[in-house]
Structure 1
Amino acid sequence: MIFTLSTFPAQFLTTKTTIDYFPQNPKSLILKQCKNIKDLKQVHAHLIKTRLLHRAAVAEPLLESAALLLPEPTIDYALSIFYKLDNPDASAYNIMIRGFTKKQSPEKSIFWFKQMIEHLVCPDEFTFSGALKACSKLRALREGEQIHAHIVKLIGRFGYTEFVENALVYMYASCDRVDLARQVFDEMPERSSMAWNSLFSGYVRCDYWQEVVDLFREMLKSGVGFDEVTLISVLTACGRLGELELGEWIYDYVVVNRLVGNNSLITSLVDMYSKCGRVDTARRLFDNMSLRDVVAWSAMISGYSHSGRCKEALAFFRDMQNANVEPNEITMVSMLSSCAVLGALQTGKWVHSYIKKKNLKLTVSLGTSLVDFYAKCGCVDRAIEVFKGMPFKNVLSWTALIQGLASNGQGKKALKFYNLMIQEDIKPNDVTFIGVLSACNHAGLVEQGQGYFISMTRDFGIQPRIEHYGCMVDILARAGLIENTYEFIKNMPIKPNTIIWRTLLASCRVYKHVELAEEALKHVIRLEPAHSGDYILLSNLYASTGRLEDAVTLRNEMKRLGIKKSPGYSYIELDGIVHEFSAEDKVHPQSREVYKAIEKMMERIKPVGYVPDSGQARLEAEEDDKEASVSHHSEKLAMAFGLIRTSPGTTIRISKNLRICVDCHNAAKIVSKVYGREIVIRDRNRFHHFREGLCSCNDFW
């Protein structure tokens, strides 16, 4: 609006707003009626002409309007006003500090605080809170501690106020020093919900999920009222910890207090239920939301992925696209995780292309997810390419690549990257060493594996977990040192689990060590109900050593105990669609064509050495049906489907939820040679790259 002031030039006259006189203290006029920069400049001109600008009570409202209150504050104009002030006091500096923080220039806010101290202007509580807020945005711990020191020096003059204490808690929490934030918090005589929320925020930022839950229970006991911001932090922690009971208590509170219209709160509930395995409950909440933003969609996709319902995650993502909701980084990470589980290479590549197209920042989280995805799809070259292109890498990034290379049979290359990691002064963690030991395992490097096992504790202070001992058992057993392996297991400082004994059992099958295989199975059965695979391993060992009666007896024992083979599923992605096959599957819409392709495939591979292993047939199959049963395993159905649906020379990629059987492994080797195809099968344990009749696992898995 335009002001009519008796002292303004004629060209400023207007009939829209008439002010009879300019007040001696024009604060309310400036703060309330200056709606844009043009209004502000007119008032500024009048104040200069009347020399009222020299009065702090007049100049500071003008400064506040320019720096903070206008719809589009102009910090440069505020600076021009500030520099004309004769002796700016703390209030003027406070406005500039707040103004720069608001304009997303918190580093300049800290500069102005330093200027204020150098010009001997004594800060007040608003100065400190403003400067601490700037430190919080920058996560500038050193500067925040220096400001805290100033506060301590001046405590005798004005004492701590809740305003300043809240700012200190938030600053330390934002800088990931929740220990110091908690110390300030505990020393506060009174704590508002703002102080509690600041501490919650810090715990969430540092992934201190148990501390969030414990703090909330403490908050409930103290009788301090909480708000939606509190509940969102607590729900996030409940999801990470699987604290379903507390999460449902919060849900009941939301319903009783009629907060279901709060989309952020409902989204947090969706996330909580998803991560606690209650995906269908989460979906009902999602479907009832009036507005569904990218956070809500991402929470559902993450929930499906987290619960292993990866096909549903991909389908839900397509629904998200149809709803014209732009995905964010969290969506992309969840999608890549689902694609990695399913081996959905084409869909994952589309996600990667989308990331590039939208110029999404390749953060550590997103880059690591891409590395993991490509490695789990058997594309190690692409995984390395993405890794090298990441602007920032942390220990998780290096670990993802090392594990990916190891599981793809490139153990020596994995160790090369481990050495590069050490050269870059990135400290490995316990998961890194699982990858390193796996690399030694797949490369047959026994002595190096033993050296790295010792290095864990000696050089990095990492105590081996059961997984590390499992890797060492695998290293020794894979090298054929079966007796040494058994001695190693007996001398372990922690009790061996079923995985340890199963590893020994699998190795005994390869090296035909019946006695220790029987011992291993006894331990497995004692520790937990044995799976069908445990019995089948020993049964196959009996058969391969000529003890056919023992093999039959063991199979009959399985029948008597009601032990059935776990259902196996194989997945193959074509044209962005993931196809699922189970043994003797007749559900797939193209099953007729697939079974015809199986017959042709068998006709071509039998003359060059493939002999069906009837021992791998389902237990209840009649003798005449055993060969047909073996030929209709899920891996072979997926292979046949890949052969008829892809052009010659194309790599066939299959994912299997269980360990690939010996018969399918033998068949895949010969198919790769006869058809001139590379076949990549990822089973529960590792990758098998079949080329020219050979497998990258060297027939040991």
Structure 2
Amino acid sequence: MAVIVPISPPKTTPTKPIIITQFPHNPKPLILQKCKTIKDLNQIHAHLIKTQFLNNPSIAENFLESAAITIRHQPIDYAISVFNKLNEPNSSAYNVMIRGLVLKNLFHEAVVMFKKMKQNMVDVDEFSFSCVLKACSKLRGLEEGKQVHCQVLKMGFGCCGFVENGLINMYGSCGEVGVARKVFDEMSERDVFSWNALFSGYTKSGRWKEAVELFYYMLEVDAEFDEVSLVSVLTACGRVGDIELGEWVRGFIEANGLKGNLNLVTAAVDMYAKCGRVDMGRCLFDQMTRRDVVAWSAMISGYNQAGRCKEALALFHDMQKANVEPNEVTMVRVLSSCAELGALATGKWVHFYIKKKKLPVTVTLGTALLVFYAKCGSTENLIEVFENMPRKNVLSWSVLIQGLASNGQGNKALKYFDLMLANRIKPNDITFIGVLCACSHAGLVDKGRALFVSMSRDYNIEPRIEHYGCMVDILGRAGLLEDAYRFIQNMPIKPNAVIWRTLLASCKVHKNVTIGEESLKQIRNLEPLHSGDYLLLAGIYSSVGRLEDAIRVRSEMKQLGIKKTPGCSSIEVNGVVYEFFSEDDSNPESEKIYAETEKMMQKIKLAGYVPNVSDARLEAEECDKETSVFHHSEKLAIAFGLIKTSAGTSIRISKNLRVCTDCHNATKMISKVYNREIIVRDRIRFHHFKDGSCSCNDYW
């Protein structure tokens, strides 16, 4: 039994109360320097009332400053009550109150106080404008900010540096970066805060190119910059891929002894990662003497965005060992990596951690969970997370619909689409990709056609190439190959290789040589053929008995040096992701895995499985073709899963290519013989194998 040791609260040194033996004639130092608590404030307040010092405007201002600003962790109510009792407070008193309200994040109240100041005909100065512009900036109150700008110009403060900086910041925060730049360009003098305010506007609006160009201009005019400027420009370099400028900034950091600035070095790590130099970012990360959650998250994000998801998860484990608490950004990237790898157990642990730590499930985090469960083929968890999300946006609904569709639950996906419309959530172009996919997987041709027309007619959404591809898939999947071919010919936009490849895949399923050959011809005109295109046509020839043509296509592929992309299947066991390649022997337990594979294949043979040797390696000898298909990567992964998991446990596999016909047939039989649910995510969709059948209805 674990022994829980109670932790004593940290010892704090109590603040000594002020003892006032005689109230000074000049109470300013007492008020601003020695007043530390609300109790001190009460005591001084009593003396100010008694001595009538509170009627002195400067003393009243000092007292308000102490109540509203200096004692930071106290509510501002006390200062407001004192302010409301002052006889005709002057501009300094109003400025203190506006500043105090801004510091307490009461931005709306700060704007109201400024309006009250104007209504009471109190003189407004540059400090009033600076504070109220900050409040407008935080509120993104563009209209209020414009009104303040008019007052600035009217009262002649348009050339005051920190008022201009406030205007730049306000317009930038409200998305009016063009106006912010106009204010900036018209300034007679600019300090580093002016440049940083404009940088902030560009970065908040995602105008990364302009931010980079601004820094080049800054260097050109020899303007002074600081660490804040460099963080902004490094972030922008990462977004636009300007590694040259990023390297220059990194060199400046090292040359000027700024490597101790955590924010700056973290921005450099992030820049390298986003520019595709993940290893350079890791090198810099490893050199950091101190790393906060932002630094860890930046490096994890870098691995995730580079598709190096196993390294992202390994680094996350290191982060846990370092006792650094992850934040929402970390969780989103880790979930994304788990989704790509199909690492259900690790992702579920992350979900449990979110619940345990009571992290707020924002729309961003909730949607990341939806993507994770959808990509791991766990539809029950997908629906549960969706139903429990406190807030959902159109992307959340779209991910749910797409997730259900790709997992073979097209009808359920369409029911959620109807519920989405009932909740008055307007669908977007991404939603319709999911909805059309649902129609495709459910075989609902007429419904798909109606929804495709509805996109532009009812929702003013112009179909993109992806939507046309979905319609080709709907028609092709249903065997309406002539209709699909005519649909492509009548498209208002030029079909791409993906469109024709979709039709080619349908031709393989329905054994249509003529349209299959035409599809391959069109693909060749658009882009160089890759191995999958040749294999699809060869498969069509084989399916209709034209073996010589199938051999010819495969020989042509070999002569051109086009190699089949090696199949890689991954499986997660006890939080560790294992990868398998065809005929791979790199696993320490390879001998055991191959023995289990042989046993598995013999078992399903007895149950009626017949190997499809046309899916064997091109170079395999005739006598070795059966062994070749037995050793495909997903079969090795399934055998490993049978060894490492208990009877009845679901086995989840992720594969980088489409599942071949032989593996599909074999996995159906394995699910029946071993009484296991096997979920395979291939490059196209999910296959849920159970009791000898698959959710894709043998079309993929």
Q: Same fold (TM over 0.5)?
A: yes
Matches within 5 A, 1:412-431: 412-431=411-430
Deviation of the 1:173 alpha carbon: 2.8
Which sections of structure 2, spanning at least 5 residues, go unmatched? 1-15
Deviation of the 1:552 alpha carbon: 1.7
Q: Is the CA contact (8 Å cut-off) linking 2:130 and 2:163 kept in structure 1?
A: yes
Match of 1:135 in 2: 136
Match of 1:90 in 2: 91
Match of 2:518 in 1: 519
Matches within 5 A, 1:277-356: 277-356=276-355
Match of 1:651 in 2: 650
2:518 & 2:681 partners in 1: Cα distance?
29
Q: Is the CA contact (8 Å cut-off) linking 1:36 and 1:71 kept in structure 2?
A: no
Deviation of the 1:487 alpha carbon: 2.5
SS in 2 for 1:485: helix
2:388 & 2:471 partners in 1: Cα distance?
33
Inter-CA distance 609–120: structure 2 relative to 1 (3 Å threshold):
same
Inter-CA distance 649–110: structure 2 relative to 1 (3 Å threshold):
same
1:429 & 1:223 partners in 2: Cα distance?
47
1:78 pairs with 2:79:
yes
Matches within 5 A, 1:187-266: 187-266=186-265
Deviation of the 1:284 alpha carbon: 0.3
Match of 1:15 in 2: none
SS in 2 for 1:620: coil
Inter-CA distance 194–460: structure 2 relative to 1 (3 Å threshold):
farther
TM-score (ref. length: structure 2):
0.92
2:185 & 2:409 partners in 1: Cα distance?
52
1:22 pairs with 2:25:
yes
One-letter amino acid matched to 1:404: G
2:202 & 2:458 partners in 1: Cα distance?
30
1:635 pairs with 2:634:
yes
Deviation of the 1:391 alpha carbon: 1.6
Inter-CA distance 494–80: structure 2 relative to 1 (3 Å threshold):
closer
One-letter amino acid matched to 1:376: K
Match of 2:61 in 1: 60
Q: Is the CA contact (8 Å cut-off) linking 1:173 and 1:203 kept in structure 2?
A: yes
SS in 2 for 1:640: helix
SS in 1 for 2:680: strand
Deviation of the 1:633 alpha carbon: 0.5
* Identical columns (%): 62
2:428 & 2:171 partners in 1: Cα distance?
26
Q: Aligned pairs, how many?
A: 685
Match of 1:494 in 2: 493
Q: Is the CA contact (8 Å cut-off) linking 1:5 and 1:22 kept in structure 2?
A: no
Cα RMSD after superposing both structures = 2.4
Inter-CA distance 334–692: structure 2 relative to 1 (3 Å threshold):
same
Moved over 6 A (4+): 1-6
Deviation of the 1:141 alpha carbon: 4.1
Inter-CA distance 489–190: structure 2 relative to 1 (3 Å threshold):
farther
Deviation of the 1:184 alpha carbon: 4.3
1:590 & 1:596 partners in 2: Cα distance?
10
Deviation of the 1:511 alpha carbon: 1.2
Matches within 5 A, 1:42-61: 43-61=44-62
Q: Is the CA contact (8 Å cut-off) linking 1:535 and 1:558 kept in structure 2?
A: yes
One-letter amino acid matched to 2:622: E
1:548 & 1:255 partners in 2: Cα distance?
65
Encode CA deviations 1:249-308: one digit per residue, 9 max, x unaligned: 322333333322221111011111112221100000000111111000011111111111
Match of 1:156 in 2: 155
SS in 2 for 1:680: strand
Please identify, of 609-618 and 359-368, the stretch whose mean Cα deviation from structure 2 is larger. Answer: 609-618
One-letter amino acid matched to 1:22: H
1:615 & 1:682 partners in 2: Cα distance?
22
2:409 & 2:219 partners in 1: Cα distance?
54
Match of 1:506 in 2: 505
Inter-CA distance 455–192: structure 2 relative to 1 (3 Å threshold):
farther
1:308 & 1:120 partners in 2: Cα distance?
62
Match of 1:31 in 2: 32
Q: Is the CA contact (8 Å cut-off) linking 2:272 and 2:281 kept in structure 1?
A: yes
Deviation of the 1:430 alpha carbon: 2.6
Q: Is the CA contact (8 Å cut-off) linking 2:159 and 2:187 kept in structure 1?
A: no
Deviation of the 1:343 alpha carbon: 0.6
Deviation of the 1:28 alpha carbon: 4.8
Q: Is the CA contact (8 Å cut-off) linking 1:64 and 1:95 kept in structure 2?
A: yes
SS in 2 for 1:659: coil
Deviation of the 1:460 alpha carbon: 3.5
2:150 & 2:418 partners in 1: Cα distance?
43
1:170 & 1:111 partners in 2: Cα distance?
20
Deviation of the 1:90 alpha carbon: 1.4
1:45 & 1:625 partners in 2: Cα distance?
98
Which sections of structure 1, spanning at least 5 residues, go unmatched? 9-20
Encode CA deviations 1:524-562: one digit per residue, 9 max, x unaligned: 334333222221111122122111112222222222222
Q: Is the CA contact (8 Å cut-off) linking 1:174 and 1:202 kept in structure 2?
A: yes
SS in 2 for 1:236: helix
1:457 & 1:187 partners in 2: Cα distance?
45
SS in 2 for 1:681: strand
2:453 & 2:234 partners in 1: Cα distance?
41
Q: Is the CA contact (8 Å cut-off) linking 1:7 and 1:46 kept in structure 2?
A: no
One-letter amino acid matched to 1:69: T
Q: Is the CA contact (8 Å cut-off) linking 1:65 and 1:73 kept in structure 2?
A: no
